[in-house]
Structure 1
Amino acid sequence: MDFVSPVLDIVPRLWDFGVKHVAHVKHLGERLEELRTAMDDLSDHRDDVKERVEMGLRSQPEMVTKRVKRWLSKVETIEEQVVALIHEGNLQVERKCLGCCPRNLQTAYKIGKKVLKKTAEVKELLQNGYFATLTERLPSEWVSSRSTPPGSPQMVAQFPMENTVGLYSKVEDVWEKIEDENVGIIGLYGIGGVGKTTLLKKINKEFSTRDHVFDSVIWVTQSKATKVEEFQDIVRRKLEISDDIWQKCSNENNRACEISRLLSGTRFVLLLDDVRKGFFKSQLTSLGIPLPNKGNGCKIIFTTRSEELCGYLGAQRRIKVECLPPEQALSLFSMTVGEDILNSNPEIPKLAEIVTARCSGLPLALLTVGSVMASRKSYHDWICAVEMLQSYPSEFSGMGDLVFPPIKFSYDSLTSPIARKCFLYFSIFPENCTISVDELIDLCIGEGLLVGTSPR
């Protein structure tokens, strides 16, 4: 009978273990509400801290302490994670089988576990958000030589931000490269509408909350400043070069010299958005932009649809921005549509999954379609949307004006007429069809799309 005691000892432990696991699923709704309440408390306190910081900066020459900036950055990061997690959790709560249990118990369990952990993180962050001092006096040399210290929030232009679901890991990846002294130029590339500009905006915003060593952050949308004078004028306004001085610079070379004079000896970050073909690394110096190196510690981060262009601009690190995986795509779409619409009919969440799948994880498509469906509570409207996206996607509101142009530009940017013909040839294959590369090459040769003795 000696074996009985160990068995009896194991039984209550297994019971406790099972109860804890079931609780993650059974109490998911309550825990989501607890997380929402905790996040609201943290957001309110964050706003109070920001207001007190702004009052301190306005009253006298001071700078935000590193502890406060680090805390504000953590709050912003966790807020994005909480919003996405609550949306995922709400979808599980709404999809109940027999009115009591979520249909996918494994997913509901994982989300419940994440919710519990995230709630603890939010509460801990709130407890750590009480500071004896929020700002500190500027060093005397900064007060006399400049209006703002390196890394201060005032130096960063603020842009309206889209939802940044799925970009957190990319932001961290880019920031790691920014802190690497061996990396001066970083290229972000991907198809049109995948979220490159949103990622760059998010990185730009990080300079207002994180600790950094840079004196200025300059944003230029290269596709809108294709002329030398347009590009230089954007940079000079950021550097606050007066109109009198600028007018004395009679030509492009003189203006480039003035920009270079002000940027030399400083650490700057140049954010170049939407770089198009024909823009090369050598053009930066002719515009007055010193190239990054270990000595000056400067950075250039750019977005483009062409990986090839990353080479032309001398990117030491290339980061591909890709479409969202299914769970994050559904989260972004749900956030755009809104809970009121999703809860207005029990069938709409199922249709939302179908619509999301039709967008193939492309953020621009998810945001465009989600914005249209944000006012549609009728089940019939959602059925029509699904049918239209499956049969005539170009007729869907916003798709022709917003989604197709960047995709067409990506198609037009293919390197040769042959590449474009091959791309169109692929469209005859059924959706989700597995295509053998060798078979595809043979077919293209047979159609006369590929020629030569060694097409492979």
Structure 2
Amino acid sequence: MGGCISIQILGDSDHIRNLEKNLVALEETIRVLKSRRYDVLRRVQEEEGKGQQRLNEVQVWLTSVQTIENHFDDLNITRTRELQRLCLLGVCSKNVKSSFHYGRRVSLMLKEVESLISNGVFEVVAAEPPAMRCVVEERPLQPVIFGRETMLEKAWNRLMDEETQTVGLYGMGGVGKTTLLTQINNKLCDGVDGVQIVIWVVVSSDLRVEEIQDDIAEKLGLHGEEWDWKDKRHKAYDIQARMKNKKFVLLLDNIWRKVDLEDIGVPFPTRENGCKVVFTTRSREVCGYMGVDDPMEVQCLTDSAAWDLFKKKVGPLTLKSHPRILEQARKVAEKCGGLPLALSVIGETMSCKKTIKEWDLAVEDFAGMDDQILPILKYSYDNLKGKHIKSCFQYCSLFPEDYLIEKEKLIDYWICERFIGENEDRERTVNQGYGIIATLVSSCLLLEEGSSISKVKMHDVVREMALGISSDFGKKREKCIVRAGVGLSKVPKVEKWSAVERIVPN
């Protein structure tokens, strides 16, 4: 009887006495609520498919329903245990305090569910979205961009062309593709007739579709627990419904393979809907996969623009700190080969170097190359498929800087090195070699010089990267001894000849 006395002390014993009955009632009302939520959500999705926007009161109700359903699931976990505690035909409990609190939660939840059911009757669930100006987020950008005025104008004109729906920008790592895309994004801030939303997405090298969907959803106002619980297919459906009646510009930065718009849920850009997609990539081949047969190559800066950028990064005080620094600075800038990334990183590194000895050393050994530049360029190398293609690429670094390599001779060298052609006839092997060259050119790891399509060359900074890979970025400096183009007349000094695997003295 001690338990019964405790009930009276606690007060309202209905929470225990009515526990079984309330649980049955709660289960039934939860089923009704779930059916109501399903009907409301179906109506909402139908209206959103027509370009309507769900009402805030409907969204608040749907969120509340999802929350109460989660709480019910938590409550149901201990249901069996709590019922087993009841005694005296359900009037008393073996653990009065626990049963009282549990019964009270059931009673309160039952009232809340009944309230949600009565409030879940909506004559209208969605309405026309308000007229809106173009939504675009301005991105940070250097105040002065050197040598890109013509390229920006050309890319902008291509984007504004009614016959163009997709624009591809390709070029080697660090050449300024992202900067150019940022300029386009910020130019869209000024407003373009009819464009309602501009969406910027950075694409990971392993192309995670749901991450792209989440980035797009955030710009479209699709978020919260309801969104997070959806799978890829339902997320694509929601994105499609929200975007299909909007004129948008989608900017995809740094793609490494084809991005399937349908898989993401993005409507295909057409002349009729006026939508556009602009992407950057290091591979011309990817441009073809994206349906762009005439992509725009972002090339390195001219000598004049490169020198202007380097001077800006170094600063006038450093350049004037010694009579010979200006001359050495020009040599360092030339070694960057017009690559904006190298010019910026090395320029900033040298901005505090005010002695001529430091600059003399920089002419011989790029400052900042190993830590900040080469790892970025190495992504293109890592993306090459097949060890033999990587070996062929590294072999090209054995030629002197700026050397024009004849394609036929290069293929012969590869054959002699047994990178290609084992157990195959000559014609097939040569064709394989040309295919590898095409892959390296497409990946911007080799360059075709102007009209001389029979020759290729390697950018100076890319060559430094290739040599770095051969020596494991300095950890095995004596693995490959390259003294190309210096006219050696005697054997170079090497501390550990047993570590040497290749010597290139030409």
| The two structures share one fold, judged by TM-score above 0.5 | yes
1:208 corresponding residue in structure 2: 189
- 1:246 positional shift: 2.6
1:148 corresponding residue in structure 2: 132
Q: Is the 1:365–1:399 contact (alpha carbons within 8 Å) kept by the matching residues of 2? A: yes
2:287 corresponding residue in structure 1: 310
Q: Is the 1:185–1:317 contact (alpha carbons within 8 Å) kept by the matching residues of 2? A: no
| Equivalent-residue separation in structure 2 for 1:267 and 1:424 (angstroms) | 46
| Equivalent-residue separation in structure 1 for 2:168 and 2:227 (angstroms) | 31
1:410 corresponding residue in structure 2: 380
| Equivalent-residue separation in structure 2 for 1:411 and 1:290 (angstroms) | 33
Gaps of 5+ in 1: 1-143, 390-395
2:237 corresponding residue in structure 1: 257
- 1:175 positional shift: 0.9
| Equivalent-residue separation in structure 1 for 2:130 and 2:197 (angstroms) | 12
Q: Is the 2:255–2:280 contact (alpha carbons within 8 Å) kept by the matching residues of 1? A: yes
Residue 148 of structure 1 aligns to a residue whose secondary structure is: coil
Q: How does 1:234-313 map to 2 (within 5 A)?
A: 234-243=215-224, 246=227, 250-277=230-257, 280-281=258-259, 283-313=260-290
- 1:300 positional shift: 0.7
- 1:220 positional shift: 0.5
**RMSD across aligned C-alpha pairs, in angstroms?**
2.2
Q: Which has the larger radius of gyration?
A: 2
- 1:384 positional shift: 2.0
- 1:206 positional shift: 0.9
2:113 corresponding residue in structure 1: none
1:239-280 Cα offsets, whole Å, 9 max, x none, are 122526535x63222221111111111110110011123xx3
Distance 1:210 1:173, change over 3 A: farther
Gaps of 5+ in 2: 1-127, 432-506
Q: 1:453 aligns with which of 405, 408, 426?
A: 426
- 1:378 positional shift: 1.9
Q: Is the 2:205–2:255 contact (alpha carbons within 8 Å) kept by the matching residues of 1? A: no
State the percentage of identical aligned residues: 36
Q: 1:167 aligns with which of 148, 165, 178?
A: 148
Distance 1:418 1:338, change over 3 A: same
Q: 1:379 aligns with which of 347, 356, 370?
A: 356
| Equivalent-residue separation in structure 1 for 2:200 and 2:234 (angstroms) | 22
Distance 1:296 1:368, change over 3 A: same
Q: Is the 1:186–1:316 contact (alpha carbons within 8 Å) kept by the matching residues of 2? A: no
Distance 1:345 1:210, change over 3 A: farther
2:49 corresponding residue in structure 1: none
Aligned AA (2:130): R
Q: Is the 2:239–2:266 contact (alpha carbons within 8 Å) kept by the matching residues of 1? A: yes
1:420 corresponding residue in structure 2: 390
Residue 176 (structure 1) aligned with residue 160 (structure 2): no
| Equivalent-residue separation in structure 2 for 1:213 and 1:225 (angstroms) | 34
| Equivalent-residue separation in structure 2 for 1:147 and 1:350 (angstroms) | 59
Question: Normalization by structure 1: what TM-score?
Answer: 0.61
- 1:217 positional shift: 0.4
- 1:375 positional shift: 1.4
Residue 329 (structure 1) aligned with residue 306 (structure 2): yes
Distance 1:225 1:433, change over 3 A: closer
Higher RCO (C-alpha 8 Å, min separation 6): 1
Aligned length: 299
Q: How does 1:11-410 map to 2 (within 5 A)?
A: 145-146=129-130, 148-150=132-134, 155-161=136-142, 163-209=144-190, 211-223=192-204, 226-243=207-224, 246=227, 250-277=230-257, 280-281=258-259, 283-389=260-366, 396=367, 398-410=368-380
Structure (1 or 2) with the greater helix fraction: 1
Q: Is the 1:225–1:231 contact (alpha carbons within 8 Å) kept by the matching residues of 2? A: no
1:394-426 Cα offsets, whole Å, 9 max, x none, are xx3x32222101221112223433322222112
- 1:237 positional shift: 1.0
